[in-house]
Structure 1
Amino acid sequence: MTSAAAAILLVAAGHSAYAFGDETDTESSNPSGPGGGAHDQDLVAYASHSRITVRQVRGSGGTGKKGNLAPVDSSWEPPACWYEPVFTPEQLKAFVDRTDGSGDVGIHESWYGKSLWTDHYQDGKPGHNFDDAYSTADGYKDYNIGKGGYFWRSVAPDPSAPASWDCGRIMFWQAPGRIPDVPHAPTAKTLAEFAYDKIRVPDTEIELKPAAKSTVNLPTWVWLDKGTFQEVTVRAELPHTGLWAETTAKPVSLHLDPGTPDAETSPASGECEINADGSIGTPYAEGSAARNPPCGITYLRASGGAPYSLKASVTWQITWKGSGGSGDTLPSGTFETTQDMNVQEIQSVNR
């Protein structure tokens, strides 16, 4: 454009843009990153903002520490981008009139200047999609007012991700009650995978005997009470689409890493499976000090001046179900914690 009042800004990867919508900010925003807030009856949100609402519907309701899961399959990644409904035709017109045109039409594309918006969305002039083919986007007459439906816009949880450029269409209209037939349109699986990162599981606070200090060559018993770990389910919904998914994490095993090669685990793999009642291992009973526990560690050398770092990680099996009878599995996740283990030698006196 020749006027400074009408400019297209392509936002480079790693730089957060902003956009405008009409939904309420929810748990879907990344609390450690850019957020959004109400302003002049519009929601000002960054490109990483999604309108997917997420709430926990079962499990992990305690007040202790909680954390997010790390996928066991390190190559697995959730969707980098997708499209969501943002404006009704009437809301889009009101936004353009009220702001004189200043906001995002895509993850990496912002329009500044009212004529950019009115040319395309009011006067029917074609625009350009910044997709692989640099395709042409047909224009609209008077914002499609009276036709219902929504204008959809691309969203990326992390706009710096290279794959977020795959959603290169500028904001487009979709008839009511339908999901757009375009690549990267949202599905129930999209919501399930988005919810994966929102699952919060309890800290792995294992029970130990002896609790504070172990002795060389004597087993340390490890167990988790059956009430400590329960399934955790989060529900994700995308407004105005009918799409929803519930993602469930179920604890299936506890892995022990003694923090030193001078130790033996029981079982030898260090993988303690969850019992039928939901517990792990067996609580220590008086007189069992010399027995080999079903879940435990035997240290073979004293820790000396610095304690060993015992790592305990619970593996959580992930499944999901969603709208339209859909459902499947996702990669299992782990949550790991560490604690200091002081190991002493048995002192004896020879006469």
Structure 2
Amino acid sequence: MRLSAAMGAAAVLWTATAAHANDIPGNTTDPSPGSRPSGNANDQEVSAAVTSSRIKVSQVSGPTGGNTGGISSTDVNWEPPPCWYEPVYTPEQLKKFSETGLALGYVSPHTSWGGQKLWTDHYRDGKDAYNYEDGSLITRKGYENYNLGKDGYFWRGVARDLEEPDSYGCERVMFWQDAGEIPDVPNAPTAETLADYAYDKVKVPDTKVELKPQAKSTVNLPTWVWLDKGTFQDVKVRAELPNTGLWAETTAKPIALHLEPGTDEAETFPASGDCQINDDGSIGTPYTKGNADKTPPCGVRYLRATNGKPYGLSASVTWQISWEGSGGANGDLPDGTFETTQDMNVQEIQSINR
């Protein structure tokens, strides 16, 4: 049987579960994380990494300078796809990789082959390959001479996090797909896959708000909070998967600012702490002389002075997320939030510096 013969003839490395590895005669232990193959695909070297996607990400619009950070989904149950398939090798790249050096690389997110014979047997000499998929041992038909002369790519699974159980959903041994076609397999990439991927790449500006008074607030007098209209803009990120025609643009639009005073001894304006975005993109209203005793449309009033340790005024902007992509696809993703905390000192006097 080719399974035991081939695996007995080469050093075969599996990053599958212990049960999977022990069921196959001749398997050795998984390499340490530091020894796992990695790199980039080009004419000289074909990457064997399975946690580094080839999806290209670029920011189309939004701020490019200053402090930024990633958004957190308001839906605690939402996560990007755990795995998907991507084109990795041309026939020529696969031939060079298989017949050069150790030929150590992954054929699926949790399975690696070490030794030229395994690669040449399956991708050059037409011999069947065996792998675990969905808990079953699957036979995959071999290829003749790496499909040289054909137009297309060999596709392999990519896992966002190898520790996630659902990352085992892309364990099909690396397979061929003609150029211009998306494989008809579970977890094949879609425009929505790219939109979800881009969600994690959206970087939004710090939510450091303008305050009046700036240095110290005063007990029982309101502190005005606002953001100028130029501070927050839509942030659009584009994700493209090369050699597939798939793309998506994920857009984050600021829709509200939420204030948390950092103490129960305070009240916010409005009472919910949610300050809406104005039509011009600003939030709240800038403080002007003579407004000290007025109620701000967005602000906070502290009822007790600080005693050596400032309160932490938290300003969190909610971003509404939508996407559009190849083939006219579009949709919405869970809102995201980004929070910044500022120190607030509060003094116990009944006047304000105007």
Q: TM-score, normalised by structure 1?
A: 0.90
Matched with 2:207 is 204
Counterpart-to-counterpart distance in 2, 1:43 and 1:196: 28
For residue 179 of structure 2, give the secondary structure of its aligned residue in structure 1: coil
Matched with 2:124 is 122
Counterpart-to-counterpart distance in 1, 2:190 and 2:349: 61
Q: Could you tell me which amino acid in structure 2 is paired with residue 102 of structure 1?
A: L
Q: How does 1:101-250 map to 2 (within 5 A)?
A: 101-132=103-134, 133-250=136-253
Q: Could you tell me which amino acid in structure 2 is paired with residue 295 of structure 1?
A: C
Q: Structure 1: give runs of 5+ residues left out of the alignment.
A: 24-39
Identity, in percent, stands at 62
Q: Could you tell me which amino acid in structure 1 is paired with residue 15 of structure 2?
A: V
Match of 1:74 among 48, 70, 76: 76
Shift in alpha-carbon separation, 1:223–1:254, aligned structure 2, 3 A: same
Structure 1 residue 11: Cα displacement: 1.5
Matched with 2:44 is 41
Structure 1 residue 21: Cα displacement: 5.4
Structure 1 residue 319: Cα displacement: 0.6
Matched with 1:277 is 280
Q: Which moved more, 1:63-72 or 1:1-10?
A: 1-10
For residue 182 of structure 2, give the secondary structure of its aligned residue in structure 1: coil
CA contact (8 A) 1:223 1:280 kept: yes
Shift in alpha-carbon separation, 1:203–1:5, aligned structure 2, 3 A: farther
Q: Could you tell me which amino acid in structure 1 is paired with residue 144 of structure 2?
A: K
Structure 1 residue 94: Cα displacement: 1.5
**Can you list the C-alpha shifts for 1:183-228, whole angstroms capped at 9, x where unaligned?**
0000011111101111111111200001110011000000000000
Counterpart-to-counterpart distance in 2, 1:275 and 1:55: 28
Structure 1 residue 123: Cα displacement: 1.5
For residue 98 of structure 2, give the secondary structure of its aligned residue in structure 1: helix
For residue 304 of structure 1, give the secondary structure of its aligned residue in structure 2: coil
Q: CA RMSD in A?
A: 1.9
Counterpart-to-counterpart distance in 2, 1:347 and 1:140: 83
Q: TM-score, normalised by structure 2?
A: 0.89
Q: Does 1:18 align with 2:34?
A: no
Matched with 1:27 is none
Q: Structure 2: give runs of 5+ residues left out of the alignment.
A: 18-31
CA contact (8 A) 2:285 2:298 kept: yes
Matched with 1:34 is none
Q: Does 1:258 align with 2:261?
A: yes
CA contact (8 A) 2:99 2:120 kept: no
Counterpart-to-counterpart distance in 1, 2:50 and 2:347: 55
CA contact (8 A) 1:21 1:87 kept: no
CA contact (8 A) 2:220 2:301 kept: yes
Q: Could you tell me which amino acid in structure 1 is paired with residue 116 of structure 2?
A: K
Q: Could you tell me which amino acid in structure 1 is paired with residue 243 of structure 2?
A: H
**Can you list the C-alpha shifts for 1:258-308, whole angstroms capped at 9, x where unaligned?**
000110000010000100010000000101111110000000111112110
For residue 291 of structure 2, give the secondary structure of its aligned residue in structure 1: coil
Counterpart-to-counterpart distance in 2, 1:101 and 1:206: 55
